[in-house]
Structure 1
């Protein structure tokens, strides 16, 4: 399934209670991050005081959704030492938190005994799972969705296990 940012925005706006996102890759090659990642490698860092320069429109959307009382949590399973990409992601995660997301990091060595889906995913209101399919270079390929209650329950259990073990962003240093 191909999905536009508008389609995803409409989907997350329909959430009533919670949206959780599990990320399990050490690098992503998504189009809208290539320039920022290159700038980060060259030494650019986001200024916490310059909110207007942060990632838009995602942060505006998160702020809108969380202001309605929806809980948005993101957990990242990562290898250590972290990849350059994960260090880049960590450097701007304060923006996600400022917008209303809760984020935790779980070193991969602490996830070995967890049963995890094969792909990153979003779980909306505990019922709709959206798997994000990436190629070997971390480029987004397509999205698969399911409302199968068994799959949703497995994804919810996996996320909660990762969340329980994860380190809150403010306590995780790269």
Structure 2
């Protein structure tokens, strides 16, 4: 079964930390073991297999998912209209080390052959970004990058320059810094600070579908992630230059 990182209240990104077992939605808690003898004596119905840890209340209030918030997995095409209909902002967090959609794109082989990937006004994505940003809306995203970058991440660093020319504000953040900041390890779009579109991926990076969430807790968490990621991330042009200098 797969553990999904939910969040941490530690500045060092270690503990206390909360995880979710994706298949069962059970919660796994990482924290300091309870050792106070007086407190241990007051515990009830303790099984031999049980362990008790101490965590700050904030860890649960900030990161524990609602038990009644089980969003249905739907095809990505069902949310495609949001990219033209949002009113103010469309913000994305990208955390994967590679995406099947990139590898299946015609741009992939062109990039591997050494071709530069710039702005293409005929490309549907670039055309829509240009239309929306000229109307005063904002397209923004933060992409996590490993050290060294994976092939998929290097592709996005290269192809992202065309997105920037189209009107997106793309920034990059090292995975190590993202973990220290307590950012999650799943992808999502946040539209107008009110609608969260969370991705589900297969082991090969194939998009299995998305979950749409509009409950207050999910939206608040996404806004907090956006603010922290945007604070630490670096403009992709600057980040790309730094990556080139170390390779």
User: Under a length normalisation based on structure 2, what TM-score does the superposition of the two structures give?
Assistant: 0.63
Q: Any residues of structure 2 matched to 1:125-144 within 5 Å, and which?
A: 125-144=192-211
Higher relative contact order (Cα pairs below 8 Å, separated by 6+ residues) = 1
Equivalent residues of 2:146, 2:174 under 8 A apart: yes
Equivalent-residue separation in structure 1 for 2:153 and 2:163 (angstroms): 15
User: Is the helix fraction higher in 1 or 2?
Assistant: 1
Corresponding residue number in structure 2 for 1:3: 76
**Equivalents in 2 of 1:78, 1:158: separation in Å?**
17
CA RMSD of aligned residues (A): 1.9
- Give SS of 1:51's match: coil
Alignment deviations for residues 5-61 of structure 1 (CA, whole Å, 9 cap, x no partner) = xx4442122211111000001111117744322332232222x4x735x7x211111
Structure 2 residue corresponding to 1:115, chosen from 168, 176, 182: 182
Aligned residue among 157, 161, 168 for 1:94: 161
Q: How do 1:46-61 residues align onto structure 2 when only pairs under 5 Å count? A: 46=117, 48=118, 51-52=120-121, 56-61=123-128
Contact 2:95 2:144 in 1 (8 A): yes
How far 1:71 sits from its partner (Å)? 1.2
Aligned residue in 2 for 1:163: 230
After TM superposition, list the pairs within 5 Å mapping 1:18-37 onto structure 2.
18-30=89-101, 33-37=104-108
Structure 2 gaps, min length 5: 1-73
Aligned counterparts of 1:12 and 1:34: Cα–Cα separation in 2: 20
Contact 1:13 1:65 in 2 (8 A): yes
Q: What TM-score results when the alignment is normalised by the length of structure 1? A: 0.88
- Deviation (angstroms), 1:67: 1.3
Aligned 8 A contact 2:89 2:192 in 1: yes
In structure 1, what is the Cα distance between the partners aligned to 2:97 and 2:194?
Answer: 27
Taking structure 1 as reference, are residues 67 and 43 closer, same or farther at Cα in structure 2, changes over 3 Å only? Answer: same
CA contact (8 A) 1:37 1:85 kept: no
Q: How does 1:141-152 map to 2 (within 5 A)?
A: 141-152=208-219
Structure 1: runs of 5 or more not aligned = none
Instruction: Count residues in correspondence.
Output: 168
Larger Rg: 2
Greater shift, 80-89 or 30-39, is seen at: 30-39
* Structure 1 residue 93: Cα displacement: 1.2
C-alpha separation between the residues in 2 aligned to 1:45 and 1:133?
30
